[in-house]
């Protein structure tokens, strides 16, 4: 693109010069013709009887002869035109032929006064022009195009008002040690990561400490973890603990479509770091900058990306660790990073920030609640148990949402109900109060969720039921939530089969209670999840009669931490058919087990359905009492329950 702009400028300048030359030539010819016409007119006016002047002026290079001529008593010169270029054109009487001469190089200051003294008229102005003219308009337009193209090129390169050299500068977000308020006390659940970064903090506080011992401190720290695990916060906390400036920039900010710009920004980034040493350089989403070289990229973009990465590698090798500069990178895609970037001597330490476990989530909740007024009923451990798989960012969002709900309700403190409502909103979506369902659809939804509840409650090794709701939300019409007593590191075949059984519980109840013709689409998500789980049992985990064989292997693709990668299958048609048969066999057995459990517990099923219709939301206490055989009138109502109205209207949506 930069080369294209250069060629365009050359073409524009060439065209401009040609048009200027042509215009000036035409203007010169027009001037001479007009002067000839004026000379003729002056002659005619002076001597009316004379013939019409048809003679053109001739050149008379002798200036001295011209002076002698007009000073002569018999001169025929009646007027003189003096041009700005020193050109003198005479106007003659009696049909004499005019001529042209030129002022000498040294000039003649007394010429005009002398001519006037001899009664010879003098014209010193240029002839009247033709306004701007087409040529001037075209020239102005071309000059404007050139100026605009140069301006847009520099603007695209990031120059703007920063001057011609500003587009290669790195625009860095800086936080000084006085304004970087984050500390390790603001981070919970990553004690091992704190231990791994102590050497970096020691280096920043005393850069000469390790050189005295003859050891090389780490040049870079690479933070690896799923989104929301606090990689940026951790880097700021290191700067805050060490009391040094924090210079940050995103990986995509270095990459440009113009070759050489990214490398220039990398050089400027490290230059600023050396000037502010000791300090921390932080590059977020470094995978955008450090992708493996020699990939599918081509053209200017591929060249620019590789040149930028090469410059980063050179800078990391070039700066002195004793100066107290540490580079920290953050990514959730470590698999795409170039090996030259992740090797020892550059990013020496790879620090993993994983999703927090139960104890870590409890500490994270405590950190986010320390500046929020909470009631005594807030149970942090219960909140931690109900947020399995959530990142610290998700937990912070729950705490903030609970505070917003309490504020909207006019409360002075946050209670446990606010946290439950916030968690339900984030996990299940907002309530849809305008969605009104018919009694039949409310009953079918309640029976569907009751089926999940019964099978999940009675299946071995299944997580206990935590909450059941039939309140319509943006993500579902109803939901059954299971609360694992601890974080699941691995799962047995029995546990996986129990999960399959509970997924089919809702559809089975619809078929048993309302008949095969009334089975709805509400179980579509349950069936999809059950099929996916059964297929993974067969193809990935070897939990089938086909044996411990992996029929798929993990491929490259867009894998990132916090999500499953892409898998490639290398099986024959016969093997694929055997896999499909085994998946169906597992699902059929699961469907039969769930159906048996529900048929043996029709009374609890009826009571759970009626409880959901009456209270809309039921919890652990209500489920336990109903499964123990209590009648609905003997069951303890949930706190703050509201009876469901029996208004009959058309359903708005039947999507789960």
Give me 13's structure tokens: 């300048």
Domains and CATH numbers, the chain: 2-123 (3.30.720.210), 168-352 (3.40.50.300), 358-428 (1.10.8.60), 439-634 (1.20.58.760)
**How many angstroms separate the CA atoms of 231 and 283, rounded?**
11
Task: Return the pLDDT at 335.
Answer: 85
pLDDT of 582 > 60? The answer is yes
Task: List the one residue out of 463, 488, 579, 563 whose CA is nearest residue 531.
Answer: 579
Task: Return the pLDDT at 85.
Answer: 73
175 DSSP β-pair partners? 246
Task: Return the pLDDT at 612.
Answer: 92
Task: Return the pLDDT at 271.
Answer: 87
Give the model's confidence band at 151: pLDDT under 50 very low, under 70 low, under 90 confident, else very high. low
pLDDT of 608 > 90? The answer is yes
Q: Note if 449 is an active site residue.
A: yes
Task: Return the pLDDT at 76.
Answer: 81
Give the model's confidence band at 346: pLDDT under 50 very low, under 70 low, under 90 confident, else very high. confident
DSSP state of 261: H
**How many angstroms separate the CA atoms of 104 and 64, rounded?**
10
pLDDT of 53 > 70? The answer is no
Give me 260's structure tokens: 């050489």
User: pLDDT digits over 506-565, tens only?
Assistant: 999 999 999 999 998 888 999 999 999 999 999 989 999 988 988 876 654 444 555 555
Task: Return the pLDDT at 9.
Answer: 62
588 DSSP β-pair partners? none
Q: What is the mean pLDDT of the chain?
A: 78
Mean pLDDT of 247-275: 81
Higher pLDDT among residues 132 and 443, named by residue: 443
Query: Per the omega criterion (within 30 degrees of 0), is the bond before 278 cis?
Result: yes
Cα–Cα distances (Å) from 298 to 157, 293, 305, 338, 557, in that order, read: 20, 11, 10, 17, 19
**How many angstroms separate the CA atoms of 31 and 128, rounded?**
9
Cα–Cα distances (Å) from 547 to 496, 536, 540, 570, 579, in that order, read: 17, 13, 11, 17, 11
Higher pLDDT among residues 259 and 64, named by residue: 64
Mean pLDDT of 200-217: 77
pLDDT of 470 > 50? The answer is yes
User: pLDDT digits over 227-237, tens only?
Assistant: 988 899 999 99
Query: Which residues neighbour 238 within 8 Å (Cβ) at sequence distance 6 or greater?
Result: 197, 200, 201, 204, 280, 328
- Calculate what percentage of the chain has a pLDDT beyond 90: 23
pLDDT of 583 > 90? The answer is yes
**How many angstroms separate the CA atoms of 652 and 442, rounded?**
12
Task: Return the pLDDT at 152.
Answer: 65
Task: Return the pLDDT at 512.
Answer: 93
Give the model's confidence band at 301: pLDDT under 50 very low, under 70 low, under 90 confident, else very high. low
Q: What is the largest CA-CA distance in the chain?
A: 144
Task: List the one residue out of 168, 249, 217, 244 whose CA is nearest residue 319.
Answer: 217
Mean pLDDT of 581-597: 95
Q: Are 258 and 157 in contact (CB under 8 A)?
A: yes
**Catalytic pick from 449, 582, 610, 616?**
449
Mean pLDDT of 357-367: 90
Give the model's confidence band at 479: pLDDT under 50 very low, under 70 low, under 90 confident, else very high. confident
Range of lowest pLDDT (77-91, 286-300, 338-352, 398-412) = 286-300
Angle between helices 198-205 and 231-242 (to 10 degrees): 40
Entry pTM:
0.66
Range of lowest pLDDT (86-95, 242-251, 591-600) = 86-95
Q: Are 529 and 590 in contact (CB under 8 A)?
A: no
Task: Return the pLDDT at 421.
Answer: 87
Give the model's confidence band at 215: pLDDT under 50 very low, under 70 low, under 90 confident, else very high. confident
Task: Return the pLDDT at 166.
Answer: 47
Task: Return the pLDDT at 450.
Answer: 93
Task: Return the pLDDT at 437.
Answer: 79
Task: Return the pLDDT at 320.
Answer: 66
Give the model's confidence band at 15: pLDDT under 50 very low, under 70 low, under 90 confident, else very high. low
Give the model's confidence band at 169: pLDDT under 50 very low, under 70 low, under 90 confident, else very high. low
Task: Return the pLDDT at 206.
Answer: 78
pLDDT of 434 > 80? The answer is no
Give the model's confidence band at 160: pLDDT under 50 very low, under 70 low, under 90 confident, else very high. very low
Task: Return the pLDDT at 161.
Answer: 40
Task: Return the pLDDT at 282.
Answer: 92
């Amino acid at each position: 693109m930069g080369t294209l702009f250069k060629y365009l400028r050359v073409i524009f300048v060439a065209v401009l010069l040609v048009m200027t030359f042509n215009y000036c030539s035409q203007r010169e010819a027009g001037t001479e013709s007009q002067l000839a016409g004026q000379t003729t007119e002056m002659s005619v006016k002076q001597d009316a009887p004379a013939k019409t002047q048809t003679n053109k002026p001739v050149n008379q290079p002798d200036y001295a002869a011209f002076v002698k001529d007009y000073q002569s008593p018999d001169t025929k010169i009646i007027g003189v035109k003096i041009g700005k270029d020193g050109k003198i054109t005479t106007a003659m009487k009696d049909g004499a032929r005019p001529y042209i001469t030129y002022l000498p190089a040294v000039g003649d200051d007394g010429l005009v006064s002398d001519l006037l003294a001899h009664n010879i008229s003098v014209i010193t102005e240029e002839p009247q022009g033709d306004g701007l003219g087409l040529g001037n308009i075209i020239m102005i337009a071309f000059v404007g195009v050139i100026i605009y193209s140069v301006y847009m090129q520099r603007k695209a390169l990031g120059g703007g008002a920063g001057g011609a050299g500003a587009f290669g500068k790195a625009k860095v977000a800086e936080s000084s040690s006085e304004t970087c308020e984050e500390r390790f006390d603001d981070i919970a659940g990553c004690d091992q990561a704190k231990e791994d970064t102590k050497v970096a903090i020691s280096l920043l506080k005393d850069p000469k400490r390790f050189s005295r011992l003859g050891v090389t401190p780490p040049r870079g720290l690479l933070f690896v973890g799923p989104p929301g695990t606090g990689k940026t916060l951790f880097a700021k906390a290191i700067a805050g603990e060490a009391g040094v400036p924090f210079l940050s920039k995103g990986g995509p900010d270095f990459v440009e479509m113009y070759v050489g710009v990214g490398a220039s920004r990398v050089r400027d980034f490290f230059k600023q770091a050396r000037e502010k040493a000791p300090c921390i350089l932080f590059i977020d989403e470094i995978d955008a900058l450090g992708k493996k070289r020699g990939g599918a990229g081509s053209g200017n973009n591929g060249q620019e990306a590789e040149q930028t990465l090469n410059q980063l590698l050179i800078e990391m090798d070039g700066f002195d660790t004793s100066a107290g500069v540490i580079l920290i990178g953050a990514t959730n895609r470590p698999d795409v990073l170039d090996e030259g970037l992740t090797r020892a001597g550059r990013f020496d330490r790879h620090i993993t920030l994983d999703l927090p476990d139960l104890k870590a989530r409890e500490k994270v909740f405590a950190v986010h609640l320390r500046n929020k007024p909470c009631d005594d009923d807030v149970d942090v451990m219960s909140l931690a148990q109900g947020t399995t798989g959530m990142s610290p960012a998700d937990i912070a969002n729950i705490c903030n949402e609970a505070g917003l709900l309490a504020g909207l309700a006019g409360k002075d403190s946050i209670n446990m109900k606010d946290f439950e409502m916030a968690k339900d909103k984030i996990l299940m979506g907002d309530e849809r109060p305008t969605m009104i369902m018919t009694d039949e659809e409310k009953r079918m939804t309640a029976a569907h969720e009751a089926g999940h509840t019964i099978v999940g409650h009675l299946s071995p090794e299944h997580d206990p039921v935590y909450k059941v709701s039939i309140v319509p939300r943006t993500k579902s019409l109803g939901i059954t939530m299971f609360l694992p007593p601890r974080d699941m590191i691995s799962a047995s075949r029995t546990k996986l089969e129990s999960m399959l059984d509970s997924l089919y519980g809702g559809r089975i109840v619809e078929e048993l209670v309302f008949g095969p013709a009334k089975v709805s689409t509400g179980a579509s998500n349950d069936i999809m999840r059950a099929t996916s789980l059964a297929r993974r049992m067969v193809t990935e985990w070897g939990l089938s009669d086909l044996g411990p064989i992996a029929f798929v292997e993990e491929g490259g693709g867009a894998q990132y931490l916090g999500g499953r990668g892409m898998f490639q299958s290398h099986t024959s048609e016969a093997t694929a058919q055997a896999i499909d048969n085994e998946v169906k066999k597992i699902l059929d057995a699961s469907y039969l087990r769930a159906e048996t459990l529900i048929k043996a517990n029709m009374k609890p099923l009826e009571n759970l359905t009626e409880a959901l219709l009456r209270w809309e939301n039921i919890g652990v206490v209500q489920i336990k009492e109903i499964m123990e055989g209590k009648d609905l009138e003997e069951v303890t109502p949930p706190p703050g329950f509201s009876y469901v109205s029996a208004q009959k209207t058309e359903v708005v949506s039947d999507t789960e």
